[in-house]
Amino acid sequence: MTGLEIRELTRSFGGIIALDDVSLDVHPGEIVSLIGPNGAGKTTLFNCISRIYDPDRGSIRFDDYDLVKMGPDDVVNTGIARTFQNVELFKTMTVIQNLLVGQHSRFSPPLRKGLFWRHANAAIHAFREVFACAARLPTSWREERLARDTAEEVVKFLGLEQVKNIPAGALSFGIQKNVELARALVARPRMILLDEPASGLSHEELGHLGEVIKSVRDEFRVTILVVEHHMELVMPISDRICVLNFGRKIAEGTPAEVQSNPAVIEAYLGE
Amino acid sequence: MDELLQQVAAGLATGSIYGLLALALVLIYRSTTVINFAQGEMAMFTTFVAWTMLHWGTYWLVFILILLMAGGLGALIERVVIRPVEGAPTLNVIIVTLGLFAIFSNVATIVWGGQPQAFSHYPINDETVKLGAVVLSVHDLAIMLFAALIMIGLYVFFQYTPLGLAMRATAQNATASRLMGIRVGRMLTLGWALSASVGAVAGMFVAPIVLLQPPMMLAVLLYAFAAAVLGGLDSPFGAVVGGLIIGVTESLVGTYTPKEWLGPEMALTVTVFIIILVLVIRPTGIFGKRVLRRV
Amino acid sequence: MRLSSPLLLRILGFAFLAFFLIYWLPFSHALPDGLPMRFGTYRTIQASIACVWVLVALGLNILTGYNGQISLGHTAFVATGGYTAAILMADHGWPFWAVLIPAAVVSGALGLAVGIPALRLSGPYLAMATMALALAAPQVLKKYDGLTHGTQGISVRGDWSTAPGFIGDMVTQDQWSYFVALFLAVVMTLIAWNVIRGRVGRAFVAIRDSEVAAASMGINVPRYKTIAFAISAIFAGIAGAAYVQIVGYIAPESFNVLRSINFLTTIVVGGLASILGSILGAISFKMVDDISDFLPLGEGPMAEQVPWALYGGLLIVVVTIMPYGMAGAIRRFQMWLAFRKPSERRVALGGPALGIVAAIAVSELAGGSLGIIVGLVVALAITYSLWLPALVRGATRGYGRWVGALRGSRGPPGFVTSEDASDERSDAER
């Protein structure tokens, strides 16, 4: 249980270097915030962790897993779930159905080491899975019931009872963000990546969100890495803060340390 | 070597026809992301009208009139049946064009009968011309000439006229264009009109080759669709190039592959599989733009 | 006991459906003499073929409706299944029940093979690539005639198409074929239902809605997309085998590219991403096929062309006023019904009920297809009389308003609201 270890991560798009030699550790049980001006590379870092992008250089390790060697669909099996900046819910599905999809990894075969075995195992599993579904074997409806129970639990925890049978696309942006958090939680991850959870929220809701994030950490015992602009949210909840600017890490430390760091003040207040 | 050149030239001639109809498809696709499956049947229909009109008019007069009428037909279709499904899922609009397909092909059979008709009064005769080692009919040359003229004409129209610029703007971003004061609805109507006219030219050139009959454009449409996809659906230039590539490939495959297990009967099959291969390498066609999605 | 009691309605509905499918359709010779082609046998064959189209539509809807991968090549899969069945039955003497599995496996393998290159394509590009398959299929079948018997096709009629034992004394060959097809359709509908409702189906829809999010949920996007292709092809392959068993003959031109396009039309008209929609679409498509049997058009080109021209018009109207197909219209109708006064509800439900009665009565007196059409007209006329005022109001305000009224939110029961349409549009723009 070593948590997330990012070493010398570099990624560029065309001529623009979005991430430049970034290293970061997130220890189990921590809430770490990733802040920085627009275009600092925060979301790129997330997308590298969740394997949507390939890094040009560097390593990302989570516990015993080398994430760089994995596909985007393996990441959640290592115990990392995430939310998206602009909400990527399954719009035509109801909230509950979204949460059922969120538990897809729960009933996937355990992650095997080695490329060949991972794929062979998954292919066999896929065949069995389709058959179990088509014939409605007991295994499939037992899993279904388990998944439903978990979904209901998380719905209750996040106060989504009112909207649970409404198609996600019909909900307001703020609630959709909440549903995304729920969808990440039902996967029972050990670590959650939150991409701008506060966007679209009012000032009062910000305070509430901070409480929610803390209680998520305590109740579900997850490590949390947050990308966020809103200092009102970041400062009170973070154990540590990492500041990015133009793809480089310019500071790291407790909220108090970061607030007094001259490089950070310069990046935020301009020249 | 001479035979190869001959085959390439013949392929270019048929390819020009595919390219013309593909151009018509692309004109509509660019602004609405809809494949107009009725494109070929619309062209067939206007060619039948032209055939009727040829009983009392000279060819070139009829030709001009038909282009105008086809434009009117395209505009009418856009206004009456396409506009109401604007904003519906794309597949629904495609089904509407399939409905139009059924209407045009069957109404044409009801009005003009299913028998093939010779497209008489055709001023471009079958005389052949020798260009170096290559022998081509005047008809083939006319097709290539018209395809080139239309390409140049459209290029000038889209690049150098305000109206063309407005149409390009509409195709790229309808909402922003509307905010800039462009009448987006009119641009879409105009796009359909233009496309129908280009298609009508293709119809006028197909009819003398295959005889005038209701199903004559079906195969051409499928090739044109393939050509448009191969070139990249948002690129008019790509559509014509795609048409030429398909024409030449088909001609060469028919001639130069072993007869026992491929040969002319399998020309279509080989051609479409080459297209699939190209698409797998370039998923949005040769000249198409890649669409990137951000999360 | 009130009529609106849902359980009672459901039981009555199922009982009626069972009566209709198992007894009335194959056994009632509800047609007068002197019309040999329209006799019961013919209708039974048509019903059997409708079952085949239901199978194809279910498979295609799993791929296109639920997984969002468009296919214009499904005739190739149907032909693969059909030919596998025909070759095994005619050349190797296999019984029908035994060829179902190979037909499904061969077709499914082709589906897998096509699904892999399809991973890189989407939208019209995928449509073109799959259409290539449908274009190539007849040529390939003609060219390699050692296996496929070339242009002459394969005839399969034999012992296996008669029912076993005492059942054989009770039903004719065609009736038996119908029951086989119906059985397959029902079983495969249940399977489709299970797949869609379960974890696999949810993964399909998740991929359609957002590939990136689906992957981050642990769904292996390429694998599930290929699985969708394979499942879809398996349905088509079984449909092909059933087709061979019913018609007793298969040839390269039995399945051309136009039919492929029609399959897509079928599921859009019926309703994308809907099992009920697949079934309704397939049945109505088969009915349009047969319209020429009763329209008083005589023989010749008129009898051939007029129904299809009408079909084209109908297609445009249906797609315009029901953007989510017949299944979507029914869903809307149910929601609309929930907020109506009881008197209006009686009219709205009385229409379909009277329509069914009229359909059976007219069928007994005049003919099956005509009966169904009359029933539909009666049902629609009564139900939609409720919303005639809105339509008239729309018509007086110009064409756009009239179309708007046809699909607007206040008036029409069963149709989508304009807000839904604008949702879709903003999705498309994004």
DSSP string for residues in chain B = -HHHHHHHHHHHHHHHHHHHHHHHHHHHHHHH----TTHHHHHHHHHHHHHHHTTTS-HHHHHHHHHHHHHHHHHHHIIIIIGGGTTS-HHHHHHHHHHHHHHHHHHHHHHH-SS-B---S-SS---EEEETTEEEEHHHHHHHHHHHHHHHHHHHHHHHSHHHHHHHHHHH-HHHHHHTT--HHHHHHHHHHHHHHHHHHHHHHHHHHH-B-GGGGHHHHHHHHHHHHHH-TT-HHHHHHHHHHHHHHHHHHHHHS-TTTSSGGGHHHHHHHHHHHHHHHSTT-SSPPPP----
CB C326 within 8 A of CB C277: yes
User: Which among C209, C220, C427 has the least Cβ separation from residue A73?
Assistant: C220
Domain end (from C293, C311, C335): C335
Q: What percent of chain B lies above the pLDDT cut of 90?
A: 46
Q: CB-based burial of residue C354 (10 Å sphere; 0-12 exposed, 13-18 middle, 19+ buried)?
A: middle
Contacts of B295 in chain A (CB under 8 A): 43, 47, 52, 84-86, 88
Residue B295 forms contact with A (CB below 8 Å)? yes
Instruction: Go through chain B and tell me how many residues it has.
Output: 295
Q: B110: which 2 tokens?
A: 């009801």
Neighbours of B2 (CB within 10 A): 10
* pLDDT, position B221: 92
Contacts of C120 in chain B (CB under 8 A): 279-280, 283
Is the backbone of residue C342 left (phi > 0), alpha (psi -120 to 50) or beta? Answer: alpha
Is residue A211 pLDDT above 50, yes or no?
Answer: yes
DSSP letters along A131-186, please?
HHHHHT-HHHHHHHHHHHHHHHHHHHHTT-GGGTTSBGGGS-HHHHHHHHHHHHHT
Residues 216-235 of C with CB under 8 A from A: 216-221, 223-224, 227, 231
CB pairs < 8 Å spanning A and C? 109
Domain end (from C335, C357, C390): C335
Is residue B137 pLDDT above 50, yes or no?
Answer: yes
Confidence class for position A176, pLDDT limits 50, 70, 90:
very high
Q: How far is A51 from chain B (nearest CA, A)?
A: 12
* pLDDT, position C93: 86
Contacts of B110 in chain C (CB under 8 A): 301-302, 305-306, 309
CB C281 within 8 A of CB C57: yes
The residue among B293 and C376 whose pLDDT is bigger is C376
| C-alpha to C-alpha distance for C278 and C56, rounded to whole angstroms | 9
Neighbours of A143 (CB within 10 A): 19
User: Are residues C170 and C23 part of one domain?
Assistant: no
* pLDDT, position C425: 36
User: Are residues C374 and C325 part of one domain?
Assistant: no
Half-sphere exposure for B173 (CA within 13 Å, toward CB): 7
Q: Is C297 helix (H, G, I), strand (E, B) or coil?
A: coil
Which amino acid is it at B102?
A
C368 lies in which domain range? 342-429
CB C309 within 8 A of CB B103: yes
User: Are residues C125 and C21 part of one domain?
Assistant: no
Contacts of A86 in chain B (CB under 8 A): 295
- Record: contact B276-C127, CB cut-off 8 A: no
B200 Cβ neighbours under 8 A, 6+ residues apart: B42, B43, B46, B47, B66, B67, B69, B70
Chain A residue nearest residue B294, CA to CA: A86
Which amino acid is it at B230?
L
- Record: contact A135-C194, CB cut-off 8 A: yes
CB pairs < 8 Å spanning A and B? 7
**What confidence tens digit (pLDDT) does each residue in B146-180 have?**
899 999 999 999 999 999 999 989 888 888 999 99
CB pairs < 8 Å spanning B and C? 149
Task: Count structural domains, chain A.
Answer: 1
| Chain B interface, best mutation among C319, C420, C425, by max B CB count within 10 A | C319
Residue B292 forms contact with A (CB below 8 Å)? no
Q: Nearest CA to A10 among A38, A50, A44?
A: A44
Q: A165: which 2 tokens?
A: 């049978």
Q: Is C155 helix (H, G, I), strand (E, B) or coil?
A: strand
Q: A164: which 2 tokens?
A: 């649970």
* pLDDT, position C409: 45
* Out of A3-12, A140-149, C10-19, C259-268, least confident range: C10-19
| C-alpha to C-alpha distance for A164 and A96, rounded to whole angstroms | 6
Average pLDDT over all residues of chain B = 88
Q: How far is A93 from chain B (nearest CA, A)?
A: 18
Q: Kindly give the interhelix angle for C221-247 and C40-60, rounded to the nearest 10 degrees.
A: 170
* pLDDT, position C176: 85
Q: Nearest CA to C49 among C349, C288, C217?
A: C288
| C-alpha to C-alpha distance for C233 and C111, rounded to whole angstroms | 5
| C-alpha to C-alpha distance for A116 and A226, rounded to whole angstroms | 34
User: Are residues C375 and C314 part of one domain?
Assistant: no
Q: Cα angle vertex C172, ends C169, C177, to 5°? A: 120
Is residue B99 pLDDT above 50, yes or no?
Answer: yes
* pLDDT, position C394: 72
Q: How far is B121 from chain C (nearest CA, A)?
A: 27
Most confident of B112-116, B140-144, C65-69: C65-69
**What confidence tens digit (pLDDT) does each residue in B224-266 have?**
999 999 999 988 999 999 999 999 998 888 888 777 777 777 8
Domain assignments of chain B as residue spans, ordered by start: 2-217
B159 Cβ neighbours under 8 A, 6+ residues apart: none
Q: Is the ipTM of this complex over 0.90?
A: yes
Contacts of A135 in chain C (CB under 8 A): 191, 194
User: Which among C200, C216, C231 has the least Cβ separation from residue A72?
Assistant: C216
Give chain C's residues under pLDDT 70: 1-6, 28-40, 158-162, 168, 290-303, 367-369, 405-430
Is residue A214 pLDDT above 50, yes or no?
Answer: yes
User: Are residues C329 and C244 part of one domain?
Assistant: yes
Q: C303: which 2 tokens?
A: 């009898």
CB A103 within 8 A of CB A151: yes
| C-alpha to C-alpha distance for A53 and C199, rounded to whole angstroms | 27
* pLDDT, position C300: 62
Q: How far is C344 from chain A (nearest CA, A)?
A: 27
CB B235 within 8 A of CB B28: no
| C-alpha to C-alpha distance for C62 and C233, rounded to whole angstroms | 10
Average of pLDDT values for A173-191? Answer: 93
Q: A179: which 2 tokens?
A: 């549903």
Q: Is C249 helix (H, G, I), strand (E, B) or coil?
A: strand
CB C71 within 8 A of CB C129: no
Is residue A124 pLDDT above 50, yes or no?
Answer: yes
Contacts of B105 in chain C (CB under 8 A): 308
Q: Nearest CA to C326 among C367, C354, C287, C368?
A: C287
Q: Cα angle vertex B144, ends B140, B146, to 5°? A: 115
- Record: contact C427-A71, CB cut-off 8 A: no
* pLDDT, position A259: 87
Q: Quick one: DSSP state of residue C250?
A: E
| Sheet strand arrangement including A16-26 | A16-26, A4-13, A57-62, A65-66
User: Which among B100, B105, B279 has the least Cβ separation from residue C129?
Assistant: B279
**What confidence tens digit (pLDDT) does each residue in A59-78 have?**
999 988 899 988 899 899 99
User: Which among A50, A108, A130 has the least Cβ separation from residue C200?
Assistant: A130
* pLDDT, position A150: 95
* pLDDT, position C427: 38
List chains adjacent to chain B, taking adjacency as at least 3 C-beta pairs closer than 8 Å: A, C
| CATH at residue A94 | 3.40.50.300
List chains adjacent to chain A, taking adjacency as at least 3 C-beta pairs closer than 8 Å: B, C
- Record: contact C206-A74, CB cut-off 8 A: no
User: Which among B84, B105, B275 has the least Cβ separation from residue C320?
Assistant: B84
Q: How far is A82 from chain B (nearest CA, A)?
A: 12
User: Which among A105, A122, A169 has the least Cβ separation from residue C223?
Assistant: A122
| C-alpha to C-alpha distance for B96 and C322, rounded to whole angstroms | 12
Half-sphere exposure for C212 (CA within 13 Å, toward CB): 19
CB B280 within 8 A of CB C117: yes
Residue C334 forms contact with A (CB below 8 Å)? no
Chain A residue nearest residue B293, CA to CA: A52
| C-alpha to C-alpha distance for B230 and B242, rounded to whole angstroms | 5
User: Are residues C103 and C9 part of one domain?
Assistant: no
Q: B96: which 2 tokens?
A: 């509407």
DSSP letters along chain A, please?
---EEEEEEEEEETTEEEEEEEEEEE-TT-EEEEE-STTSSHHHHHHHHTTSS--SEEEEEETTEEGGGS-TTTHHHHTEEE--TT----TTSBHHHHHHHHTGGGGSPPPPSSHHHHHHHHHHHHHHHHHHHHHT-HHHHHHHHHHHHHHHHHHHHTT-GGGTTSBGGGS-HHHHHHHHHHHHHTT--SEEEEESTTTT--HHHHHHHHHHHHHHHHHHT-EEEEE---HHHHHHH-SEEEEEETTEEEEEE-HHHHHT-HHHHHHHH--
Residues 192-211 of C with CB under 8 A from A: 194-195, 198-203, 205-206, 208-210
Q: How far is B293 from chain A (nearest CA, A)?
A: 11
CB A167 within 8 A of CB A94: yes
Domain end (from C335, C364, C399): C335
* pLDDT, position A33: 94
Residue C349 forms contact with B (CB below 8 Å)? no
CB B191 within 8 A of CB B69: no
Task: Count structural domains, chain C.
Answer: 3
CB A39 within 8 A of CB A47: no
The residue among B208 and C272 whose pLDDT is bigger is C272
* pLDDT, position C28: 64
Residue C154, H or E segment: strand C154-155
- Record: contact C139-B269, CB cut-off 8 A: yes
User: Are residues C280 and C179 part of one domain?
Assistant: yes
